[in-house]
Amino acid sequence: MTTGPTRNPSNLSNEEREKRMWEKLQKGEAIETVDEMSDEYYDNLTNLMLQQADSELAGAFGYVPWIMKAPTTEEKLAVANIVKDEVRHARAMYRLLADIGVDAESHVARHDYTLRVDLKADELKDKRAADDKRVNIFYYTIDSWTDFIMFQFCMDRGAGHQLEDVRRSSYGPWRREIERIFKEETMHVSHGDFWVRKLAFDRSTRSEVQKALDSWYPRTMNIFGKPRTSHNTLYRKFGLKARDNDEVRKGFTDEIRLRCSECGLRLPDWKPDWEKMEEDGVVSG
C-alpha cells in the first residue's frame, strides 16, 4: 500500500501509539488521528476502508450503462442519481484514506474499475478477479434491467448490513461519514424493492425476476466472507467491526427471505464451500 507523508506526523513509536489507542478504546472513545493508531490497527483499518472505497467506485462504473438503458426517462434520472451517490461515496472514502496517509489517487490510477467477468453463476465464490480491493460481486456483469434491479435488491441490502457495523466503528471519521452514506444506500435498496415487487407481480416478468434472484443471491452471500476468520477476529478486537461474518450474513438472509416471501419469490438454496469441505472431511482454513 502506498502511503503519503501524514502516516505518522508526530514520529511517535508504535508502542506509544498503541498505548494511547488502547487507553481510548478501553474508555469507549473513538480513534480520531493516526497518532492514536498502532501499526496493526492502521493496516486493518485501511484494508477495510479500501474495500469499501473500491467497491463504491466499481459499483458506480457498473451502473453507468443503465442510465442509457433504463426503461423510462424517470428511471434514467434515478440511475444517474444512484451513480452520482456511489461516486460521492467513493470520493468520501478515498478522502478519509488520504487524511491518514494513503495515496488514494495513485491507488485508483493503478486499477481498472470497469473490469468485469462474464460468468453465469457464482464461480468466483469468495475470490477476487484482480488486485483491487472491491468486493468480488462487482466483477460480475449486469446484463439486463432486471439484473440491475436485483443487484440493488440483494447487494445494496447486503452492503447495508455490513455498514451497520461501521456505524459503531472505533474510528470516528469513518463512523461519521457512514451515517451520510447509509441514508443514501437505504434509498437505493428501496428503489430495488419497488421494482422487484413490480416485476414479480407481473406475469410477463415474474420468471425473469426469479432467475435474476437465483444468480445474485448466491453471489451476495459470498460477500460476507467465511465465519471465524483471523481477519474478522482482529477487526472485532479493534472495534472496526462488531460481529462475525456469519452473524452479518444471517441478518441479511433473514431480511431478504421476508422480502422474497412478500413478493412470492423463492429464495434459492445456498451452501458455502467451507461447509461442503467439512462434510468431505477437509478442514477449512
pLDDT tens per residue across span 233-242: 999 999 999 9
DSSP letter at 152? I
- pLDDT band at residue 127, thresholds of 50, 70 and 90? confident
pLDDT of 6 over the 80 cut: no
pLDDT of 285 over the 80 cut: no
Averaged confidence pLDDT in the chain: 91
User: In 95-109, which positions are buried (b, 16+ CB within 10 angstroms) versus exposed (e)?
Assistant: ebbbebbbbbeebbe
Range name among 13-17, 42-46, 209-213, 275-279 with the lowest pLDDT average: 275-279
Give pLDDT, residue 120: 72
Mean pLDDT, range 67-73, rounded to an integer: 98
pLDDT of 283 over the 50 cut: no
Mean pLDDT, range 249-270, rounded to an integer: 97
Q: List, for residues 90-112, the tens digit of each pLDDT value.
A: 999 999 999 999 999 999 999 99
What sign has the CA pseudo-torsion 268, 273, 274, 280?
positive
pLDDT of 43 over the 90 cut: yes
Radius of gyration from C-alpha coordinates of the chain:
20
Alpha carbons 39 and 132: distance in angstroms, whole number: 22
Q: List, for residues 132-162, the tens digit of each pLDDT value.
A: 999 999 999 999 999 999 999 999 999 999 9
Mean pLDDT, range 38-46, rounded to an integer: 97
pLDDT of 282 over the 50 cut: no
Percent of the chain with pLDDT over 70: 92
Give pLDDT, residue 265: 98
Torsion of CA 241, 244, 247, 253, to 10 degrees: 80
Distance from first CA to last CA of the chain, Å, rounded? 25
Residue 5: all three cell numbers together: 507523508
Give pLDDT, residue 274: 73
- pLDDT band at residue 125, thresholds of 50, 70 and 90? confident
- pLDDT band at residue 264, thresholds of 50, 70 and 90? very high
Mean pLDDT, range 70-95, rounded to an integer: 98
Domains and CATH numbers, the chain: 31-265 (1.20.1260.10)
Q: Name the residue with higher pLDDT: 73 or 277.
A: 73
Choose among 6, 96, 7: nearest CA to 51: 96
pLDDT of 8 over the 90 cut: no
Mean pLDDT, range 58-80, rounded to an integer: 97
Give pLDDT, residue 109: 97
Mean pLDDT, range 161-188, rounded to an integer: 95
